Structure 1
């Protein structure tokens, strides 16, 4: 070996430091994902993993349940609707979605109807992707379209979603279940 004993501990410290930074970033990004979709499978898995090592993580504002949180999306509200309500109620976006879900779960109505603000503050690519998934297209459908169009699946989803936003019909029917009234 050509490595000197003095360099080996420094190299190990760098590897450990890089690993610690990577782990910290992973937990931070996963925490962000949990805040955005606390009822998702990823969120539940991460929450369970964190709890198994003694870290309590809810990912929800105190007093709200995941059912109340998801009621907002299940009712057909959009990201733009959430942003509008957030400004109206002067709450952060996560608490707004949770509050709206709680009201909906309790049988109350919100001051706006679902889809009133479909593009408010959302970038066009996000709107297109939301359109693609919300009408019931699946990843397998995207693969079929990609084969037809001769492009990769990521480009296909964006292109197909934009076509839907523009009111066009796609050559492949959605095989999944629509998540909104679209």
Structure 2
């Protein structure tokens, strides 16, 4: 009977160890995917889930909080406003949104009102193409790389690359490998 008991314990231990390892790998994979786009619905769902499970993990870049994100976009700032602030302050996009969002939270006045820099209206085809581009796993860094390669502006790059995705054409970079570079 001792050998049967020890065999059952051994199997139970192995199954438990495999389950723990698989869960860890799933969480790590979800974390990597959410980190690639923390403000996406998936990124927010992962963040909420791991917080509910008691894991202290931020789905936002270091130094940038969800409250700052919500304050910045909730105040009505556009991505063109964000670009203008970034140029004025000599900050990257995340630092700009973080600083501006914190200023909104603190009730401080920013250099201009939200919506000062209007976004150009995109044709519906371009909007669908841009959505397809990001849904395919490409990132803002990929837009920069393609813009440099093609010598195009960011909006044109996103629309062109997205249309290629919709048409089933291959882009000169792979979203699975470009996200980590």
For normalisation by structure 1, the TM-score amounts to 0.43
Question: Whose relative contact order is higher, 1 or 2, with alpha carbons under 8 Å and at least 6 apart?
Answer: 1
Higher helix share: 2
For normalisation by structure 2, the TM-score amounts to 0.43
